[in-house]
Structure 1
Amino acid sequence: MSTAPRAAALRVPFRLRALAALPFLLAVAAYLLLLAVWSDRLPDPLATHFSTGGEADGFTGRTAFGVVGAALLLALGAGWTALVRRGALWGAWLTAGLLGTLLCLLVQDNLDAADAAAVRSPLSNLAVALAVGAVCALAGHALSRLLPPEDATAPADGTGVDPAAPRLDLGAGEVAGWSRATASTPLTALGLLLLAVGAVAALLGPWWLLPLAALIAVPGLALARVRVNVDRHGLTVRSTLAPRPRVQVPLADIAGADARDVHAVAEFGGWGYRVRARRTGVILRSGEALVVRRGDGREFAVTVPDARTAAALLNTLVERRGRL
């Protein structure tokens, strides 16, 4: 294992965490306010699950509906607040805007209903929620531009392969490649759990919870198992479950590579495809990672076993290309 020092963790400003929590608090306040103000105009139980045609076929008590909706918003808000980074603040606002609008529209659908069984929920509610979510995402992005960049380690100078970096002993005419598959237990478990919860929630409550859960879970599952390839073309990271996502770093864009330990949460804010100041990565766990330094000083990291061999081959290929 390389003795290169581990990159310092990025510090998340309090203002960034506060801005991540803000849309969820606003959504919870609006949702509970509607339930309180319209309490005498709402049936009990409320219609909370609908068929594809919009007819009510599932019902939830008024108090339970308020508790479950608020708890869902607060749980998502807590997750975003804990893991948010400046470049992903828009995602927190999108999530809060989309889910908060759907919950508020569901309350509106039940307004003045004499019989919850007669309530209908039009498909246009989803379009309205998506529109509000998009506006909230733009607001979150605009707010992120007012924050200073997060602290990060100083970028590499991009002057070439470090003399101390690992090398692979290849003859002048030899050709070599390296490939390794790796998987993330946390991403797999979280994705499957989210789909299961979404399915159960859709059976007991609003039908749109299942597609919402799938929207979050499927990209995570696609990145839960990847194959990392190193050859004369450079570095390729692709999902083994689907054609996309796929990340490629051409050999011509690589200044050097190394292997070092990374911390998934402290350095990258979680698992999956991560974007940080001056670096990106496919982070499936904490531990050994292949870290590639691009020509402009930015870094790309992928957590994979036997990263030192991959780094050694890349450094050898980069030097060989420089001699051509």
Structure 2
Amino acid sequence: MTDTRDTSATGFRTRFLLAAAAWAVLVAAVLVAVPKAFSDRLPDPVATHWGPSGAPDGSAPAVFLAVVPLALWAVLAVSCLAFGRRRLVVRRAGRYGIVAGLAWGGIFVVGAQAVSIAANLDRSRWQDAAPVTWQAILVVVAASACALLAAWAGRRGPDEPPQAPEPGAAVPDLAPGRRVVWVSSASAPLLLVLSGAVLAASVAFAVLRLMGLSGRDWHTAAVLAVVALAGFALSTVSVRVSSEGMRVAYGPLRWPARRVPLGRIERAWVEERYPSQVGGWGYRGLPGRATIMIRGGACLVVRYTSGGQLAISVDDADSGAALLNALLARHPAAPGPTSGERR
């Protein structure tokens, strides 16, 4: 029975990633083919920015209409496909973020490119480009509608629940000479996709600056890069518990990481927490009483010997708390409890 389920999940993941890759290639082909098809009807340079009144107030070489949207789409699509690993694809909640990101990003870049080309079409100078007002709103609305439709379509397929034991996980066997390690994580797929989009924008600005195609300074690319890295860091959290203590790592690359020695931990338990209770997503609170909120639900809560607390939203939190308390029970410097506590 287990083999059948795994085979089915693997087959679904393969089909899903093939379909996503086909969509990525189709969008990329459109972004390259459309500007090329209309190249003889566009001025050079072309209008690339419109002010609040709708009148063009910025320009760039005509290649801008193909290079920038293609760069943005490449980073976004690669980010979505990279995070389409089995643990996300076979879970309905994980698929929502991936398909919504691919749908929104693809429609948005194609729509934005189409609006820019239409505004510049058959104009002798970029200053004569048609105004852009409601068209920009239409692109955002259309992209959002397609993202919602794609998320609804993503309901189809398997929905494997996170592997988690029953409440009150059994105390692990810590026989002499046996090393027990617990590792778990949680991710926010939508934040990963959005961070990838911001990183794509940063790369695009940097490339244009290097090529001399943009008058903007490096601050724009640098600010966007910092925002993207912060988003990546807050989109994924991984926790490792062993005899050395607890290690909390951030981001898809598990870096940066924070290590808490076992001697600094007093006890651990599991507690239900949600973004509305802690003030939102990400790292909430202050040092000494903080919550790393990636998704609502069961959180591993650790109380330090100094009196502070740290709550982390991870899967299988019961097992992590049970192992920590078992290690603390035999730790000579900490008379921790012998079992987890759920509040």
Shorter-chain TM-score category?
0.5 to 0.7
Q: Corresponding residue for 2:107? A: 97
After TM superposition, list the pairs within 5 Å mapping 1:93-132 onto structure 2: 93-132=103-142
Residues 1:200 and 1:159: Cα distance change in structure 2 (over 3 Å)? closer
Q: Corresponding residue for 1:21? A: 21
Q: Corresponding residue for 1:148? A: 158
Which TM-score applies when normalising by structure 2? Answer: 0.52
Which 5+ residue runs of structure 1 have no aligned equivalent? 1-7, 167-186, 258-279, 283-289, 295-300
Report the Cα offset of residue 158 of structure 1: 0.7
Q: Corresponding residue for 2:247? A: none
Q: Corresponding residue for 1:163? A: 171
Equivalent AA in structure 1 for residue 83 of structure 2 = L
User: Which secondary structure state, in structure 2, belongs to the residue aligned with residue 234 of structure 1?
Assistant: strand
Cα distance between partner residues in 1 of 2:284 and 2:117: 42
Report the Cα offset of residue 60 of structure 1: 2.9
Report the Cα offset of residue 110 of structure 1: 0.9
Which TM-score applies when normalising by structure 1? Answer: 0.54
Cα distance between partner residues in 2 of 1:212 and 1:222: 15
Report the Cα offset of residue 245 of structure 1: 7.6
Contact 1:45–1:116, Cα closer than 8 Å, also in 2: yes
User: Which secondary structure state, in structure 1, belongs to the residue aligned with residue 107 of structure 2?
Assistant: helix
Residues 1:195 and 1:33: Cα distance change in structure 2 (over 3 Å)? closer
Q: Corresponding residue for 1:184? A: none
Q: Corresponding residue for 1:272? A: none
Deviations 1:261-302 (A, max 9, x none): xxxxxxxxxxxxxxxxxxx966xxxxxxx84049xxxxxx9x
Contact 1:160–1:255, Cα closer than 8 Å, also in 2: no
Which 5+ residue runs of structure 2 have no aligned equivalent? 1-5, 90-94, 175-191, 236-249, 251-255, 274-280, 303-311, 329-335
Equivalent AA in structure 1 for residue 39 of structure 2 = S
Q: Corresponding residue for 1:74? A: 74
Residues 1:156 and 1:68: Cα distance change in structure 2 (over 3 Å)? closer
User: Which secondary structure state, in structure 2, belongs to the residue aligned with residue 62 of structure 1?
Assistant: coil
Contact 1:98–1:129, Cα closer than 8 Å, also in 2: yes
Residues 1:126 and 1:226: Cα distance change in structure 2 (over 3 Å)? farther
Q: Which has the higher contact order (CA 8 A, sep 6+)?
A: 1
Cα distance between partner residues in 1 of 2:337 and 2:41: 73
Cα distance between partner residues in 2 of 1:95 and 1:311: 47
RMSD: 5.2
- Aligned-residue identity in percent: 20
Equivalent AA in structure 2 for residue 234 of structure 1 = E
Q: How many residue pairs end up in the alignment?
A: 249
Equivalent AA in structure 2 for residue 162 of structure 1 = A
Residues 1:60 and 1:146: Cα distance change in structure 2 (over 3 Å)? same
Report the Cα offset of residue 115 of structure 1: 1.0
Contact 2:47–2:120, Cα closer than 8 Å, also in 1: yes
Report the Cα offset of residue 162 of structure 1: 1.0
Q: Corresponding residue for 1:277? A: none
Q: Corresponding residue for 2:271? A: 234
- Among 308, 314, 317, which residue is 1:292 paired with? 317
